[in-house]
């Protein structure tokens, strides 16, 4: 990759969104690659339609490292699906997990996801937030591409295509795509859905907190971990966490 062109912390996000708000996903990824170079990463959960964003990166920015946070509680089908896509698209995927194994966590703390909202928060912090923050740090990421779509959750409906999250630029190439557009892209490029999609699993996370949904339900209703339907990765850090990272020079 060519050397990155620096984008300062005080970049005018409004200006960038005016410039890229109506651009295609391919154009936004091309801009991000030219702008951030080796400090650009992607992320994936290998969920129901993750092949779309992964295929876009494969086409436009194939050298981009892609982070997958492995909680240790993914479905066996997810691990096999990940292997299939990595091999087919020749992806550079880096798996990050909690510093403490799932078995050790359960031995010491029990099933945190069954311990109310505080237990859920602790579970997410240990298994999702901390590994992702570590990945961003170790990979020197100044910009992060994610396949979020505005129709998925209330939080995502308020996002812009170019954001700042915890001091980094966050890019959402397919933010405004509808489910129909996602399906059309998958048909056009003959991309596979997650193997559990046909069983009604339209939003797929950890096996202990994912259930199938019917066509008349919101797909995120199949995610039953706590009150929020956000996984924690895409929410800003708390004030205390943000201050701790800043103190560490991140």
Distance from C-alpha of 1 to C-alpha of 38, rounded to nearest angstrom: 7
Question: What length does the chain have?
Answer: 250
Instruction: Characterize the bridge pairing of strands 162-165 and 168-171.
Output: antiparallel
Report, as residue numbers or ranges, the catalytic residues: 231
Q: Give SS3 for 37.
A: helix
Residue 127 CB partners (closer than 8 Å, separation 6+)? 69, 71, 72, 73, 97, 98, 102, 105
3-state secondary structure 100-128: CCHHHHHHHHCCHHHCHHHHHHHHHHHHH
What number of other Cβ atoms are within 10 A of residue 14's Cβ?
11
Q: For 185, left (φ over 0), alpha (ψ -120 to 50), or beta?
A: alpha
Task: Yes or no: say if 68 and 96 are a contact pair by the CB < 8 Å rule.
Answer: yes
User: Do the bridges between strand 92-96 and strand 40-43 make them parallel or antiparallel, or are there none, so unpaired?
Assistant: unpaired
* Angstrom distance (rounded) from CA 73 to CA 54: 22
Distance CA 194, CA 46 (A): 7
């Amino acid at each position: 990759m060519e050397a990155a062109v620096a984008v300062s912390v005080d970049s005018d996000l409004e200006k960038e969104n005016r410039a890229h708000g109506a651009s295609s996903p391919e154009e936004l990824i091309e801009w991000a690659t030219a702008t951030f170079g080796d400090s650009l990463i992607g992320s994936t959960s290998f969920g129901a339609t993750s092949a779309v964003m992964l295929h876009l990166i494969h086409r436009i920015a194939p050298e981009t490292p892609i982070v997958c946070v492995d909680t240790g509680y993914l479905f066996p089908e997810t691990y096999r699906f990940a292997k299939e896509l990595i091999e087919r698209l020749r992806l550079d995927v880096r798996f990050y997990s909690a510093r403490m194994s799932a078995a050790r966590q359960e031995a010491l703390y029990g099933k945190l996801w069954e311990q109310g909202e505080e237990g859920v928060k602790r579970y997410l912090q240990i298994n999702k937030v901390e590994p992702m923050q570590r990945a961003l740090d170790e990979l020197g990421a100044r910009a992060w591409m994610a396949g979020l779509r505005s129709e998925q959750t209330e939080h995502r409906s308020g996002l812009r295509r170019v954001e700042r999250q915890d001091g980094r630029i966050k890019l959402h190439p397919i933010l405004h795509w509808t489910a129909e557009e996602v399906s059309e892209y998958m048909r056009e490029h003959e991309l596979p859905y997650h193997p559990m999609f046909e069983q009604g699993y339209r939003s797929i996370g950890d096996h202990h907190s994912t259930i199938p949904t019917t066509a008349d339900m919101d797909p995120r209703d199949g995610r039953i971990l706590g009150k929020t339907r956000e996984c924690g990765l895409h929410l800003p850090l708390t004030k205390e966490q943000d201050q701790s990272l800043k103190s560490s020079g991140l």
